[in-house]
Amino acid sequence: MTAGRRLTYLVLTAFFAGALIMTQGSEGAGAASDPENTLIMELKDGKVVIELYPDVAPQHVARIKELARAGFYDGIVFHRVIGGFMAQTGDPTGTGRGGSDKPDLPAEFSDRPFERGTVGMARSQNPNSANSQFFICFAPATFLNGQYTVFGKVVEGMQYVDLIKKAPDSDRSGTVENPDKMISLKVAADVQ
């Protein structure tokens, strides 16, 4: 084999090996690997898998898991849904003003960006007021970076999040009439 052919062979081998690794890596990218830090959300259109970030927001992750295990989120509506931005849920009153009976959480802001599929904790003007409400971003929302706690990301089923009923485009408050709801939210370790 000539030097030119050998070089071509090595380049092609490296290219195909890299493509194979990328393909294999992307197949498993949809599913979170730690069942204790994975949520399964059942929506009307299908299952959504959320990978939690206990290393980034330990108190928020602990709260979400505690409430999910108590069945708190089952049947709760997406009371605020703005197309191209996010779907918010977690308020048992469905008004956006309610929460759990647990104390509010201190902020756990990080450098994790708000991208499509990012799951963040809702709060009032007070940075330390997150309780039970959270939202899922339909699209990047960089203006939220460093101002809201990121505690997870959708790794499977984002197409079902996209189908959540949205407020009319003319209503920037995002208030939804006859809103969709979470059928259930469970910690994956509890359903295996």
Q: What is the pLDDT of residues 102-120, one digit of tens each?
A: 999 999 999 999 999 999 9
Q: Model confidence over 132-175: pLDDT tens digits?
A: 999 999 999 999 999 999 999 999 999 999 999 999 988 888 99
Average pLDDT in the 59-77 region?
A: 98
Domain 31-190: what homologous superfamily? Cyclophilin-like (2.40.100.10)
Maximum Cα interatomic distance, the chain, rounded to a whole number of Å: 75
Q: Specify the pTM.
A: 0.83
**CB burial class (10 A; 0-12, 13-18, 19+) of residue 62?**
middle
- At residue 32, the pLDDT reads 61
Provide the β-strand partners of residue 167: none
Residue 46 pLDDT greater than 50, yes or no: yes
